[in-house]
């Protein structure tokens, strides 16, 4: 009875009334799939006092939004969110259902897939459909990122996938876009819940926010030692950038883990990305290749980072970086025409 299942769904993750970026990206990716399959694209929006976000979901490409606005749904909890999503999916039968690969998205999707007895592909980075059989082709890095695998779910519906943040592109929002808002009821009661969110503590001490940085200066093992690595910080300070690094650098203790770029770190899309003394291993590259303008400095002309870089400089970083810092400082002193910060 797989033909009963039609339509593409995106789980809209919101925190404190703000929609997560990955959900908007998924609306962009979902729009393409829905167009190919000639079916509507729907958002699934859960929370408390969040109804008004429906228009934003529509403006980013959805045709309709299923909304459950209920006090029990105030904070994310597997129990309540899962029940709501399972009810919706059983009632309206989507053929494809996408979630952001965030803590909550993965948690929710895993529970939902179990109850719906369907397949779930984790951490997808490429999405497509095969029209003939209406099959979702969800591709993801496998075996530590050395290779890509396309995962299919042929006999079960919905076909579900979690998708890594910052890989898909959101559409330009169109505030005039029209869509349908479908409000659903919810019978869950707080007394029936076996988990309680006592409090949510935001980490305000975390100064570095790689994900939002528009210029990133990243350093690799090629900087040699911790002392030389300070050049990376100095360059970043000079141009008002955020510092990132490779896993090897993090393991050496030159940077905290939250500043690691790549498969097991952050995936980022800054406007400018400096890759200095970085070889360009696939696990690093997946985390930064969608940056707008990439400059690589490496003394090995065959380093794979040059394949991704918009412009590459073959040379010794220990010689080039200090010169760059000097140039930028001078440029800033000249003022006006080249003040970067």
Partner 1 sequence: MHIVVCVKQVPDTKIIKINPKTNTLDRRSAPAILNPYDAHAVQEAVKIKKAIGRGTISVLSMGPPQAVAVIKKSIEIGADRGFLISDRAFAGADTLATSYALSKALERISKDMPVDLIICGKHAIDGDTGQVGPGIARRLDIPPVTNVIEVSELNESEKTILIKRKITDGYELIQAQVPCLLTVEKEINSIEYSPMPNMMKAAKYEPIIWSVNDLEDVDRTQLGLKGSPTIVGKMFTPPKPEGGKRLEGNADKQIEQLMELLNDKKELFVSR
Ligand X SMILES: Cc1cc2nc3c(=O)[nH]c(=O)nc-3n(C[C@H](O)[C@H](O)[C@H](O)COP(=O)(O)OP(=O)(O)OC[C@H]3O[C@@H](n4cnc5c(N)ncnc54)[C@H](O)[C@@H]3O)c2cc1C
Known binder of ligand: residue 280? yes
Q: How many Cβ atoms are within 10 Å of 238's Cβ, its own excluded?
A: 19
Annotate each residue in 200-239 with x if it binds partner 1 (CB under 8 A) or - if it does not, as one string.
Answer: xxxx--x-------xx-----------------------x
Tell whether omega for the bond before 238 is within 30 degrees of 0, i.e. cis.
no
Known binder of ligand: residue 246? yes
Backbone angles phi, psi at 331, to 5 degrees: -60, -40
Query: Which DSSP letter does residue 260 get?
Result: B
Residues 264-303 that bind ligand X (CB under 6 A): 264-265, 277-279, 281, 283-284, 287, 297-300, 303
- Minimum distance, C-beta of residue 310 to partner 1, in the bound complex (Å): 6
- Minimum distance, C-beta of residue 185 to partner 1, in the bound complex (Å): 23
Of the candidates 187, 157, 150, 174, which has an alpha carbon nearest to the alpha carbon of residue 5? Answer: 157
Residues 248-277 that bind partner 1 (CB under 8 A): 271-272
Which one of ligand X, partner 1, none is in contact with 30 (Cβ closer than 5 to 8 A by kind)?
Answer: none
The answer to whether 79 contacts partner 1 (rule: CB under 8 A) is yes
Beta carbons of 121 and 142 less than 8 angstroms apart? no
Indicate the residue among 45 and 120 with the shorter CB distance to partner 1. 120
Sorted by sequence, the CB contacts under 8 Å of residue 326 that are 6+ apart come out as none
The answer to whether 318 contacts ligand X (rule: CB under 6 A) is yes
Burial (CB count <10 Å: 0-12, 13-18, 19+), residue 143: exposed
Annotate each residue in 31-60 with x if it binds partner 1 (CB under 8 A) or - if it does not, as one string.
Answer: ------------------------------
Q: How many Cβ atoms are within 10 Å of 199's Cβ, its own excluded?
A: 5
* Residue whose pair of structure tokens reads 């996408």 in the numeric block: 98
Residues that bind ligand X in the complex, under the rule CB under 6 A:
144-145, 220-222, 246-249, 260-265, 277-279, 281, 283-284, 287, 297-300, 303, 316-318
């Amino acid at each position: 009875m797989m033909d009963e299942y039609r339509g593409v769904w995106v789980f809209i993750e919101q925190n404190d009334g703000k929609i997560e970026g990955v959900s908007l990206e998924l609306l962009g990716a979902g729009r393409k799939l829905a167009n190919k399959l000639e079916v509507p694209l729907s958002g699934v929006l859960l929370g408390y006092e969040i109804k008004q976000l429906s228009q934003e979901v529509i403006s980013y490409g959805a045709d309709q939004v299923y909304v459950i606005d209920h006090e029990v749904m105030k904070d994310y909890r597997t129990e309540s969110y899962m029940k709501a999503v399972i009810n919706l999916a059983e009632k309206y039968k989507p053929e494809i259902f996408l979630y952001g690969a965030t803590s909550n998205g993965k948690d929710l999707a895993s529970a939902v897939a179990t109850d719906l007895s369907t397949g779930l592909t984790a951490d997808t980075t490429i999405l497509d459909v095969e029209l003939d059989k209406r099959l979702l082709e969800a591709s993801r890095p496998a075996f530590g990122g050395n290779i890509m695998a396309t995962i299919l779910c042929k006999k079960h519906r919905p076909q579900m996938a979690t998708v890594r943040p910052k890989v898909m592109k959101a559409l330009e929002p169109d505030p005039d876009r029209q869509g349908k808002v479908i409000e659903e009821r919810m019978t869950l009661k707080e007394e029936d819940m076996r988990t309680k969110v006592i409090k949510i503590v935001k980490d305000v001490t975390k100064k570095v926010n790689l994900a939002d940085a528009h210029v990133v200066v990243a350093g690799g093992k090629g900087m040699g030692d911790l002392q030389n690595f300070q050049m990376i910080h100095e360059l970043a300070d000079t141009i008002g950038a955020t510092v990132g690094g490779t896993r090897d650098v993090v393991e050496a203790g030159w940077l905290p883990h939250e500043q690691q770029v790549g498969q097991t770190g952050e995936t980022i899309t800054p406007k400018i990305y400096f890759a200095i003394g970085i070889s360009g291993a696939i696990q690093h590259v997946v985390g930064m290749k969608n940056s707008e303008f990439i400059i690589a400095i490496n003394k090995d002309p065959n380093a794979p980072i040059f394949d991704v870089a918009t412009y590459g400089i073959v040379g010794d970083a220990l010689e080039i970086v200090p010169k760059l810092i000097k140039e930028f400082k001078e440029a800033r002193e000249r003022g006006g025409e080249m003040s970067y910060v």
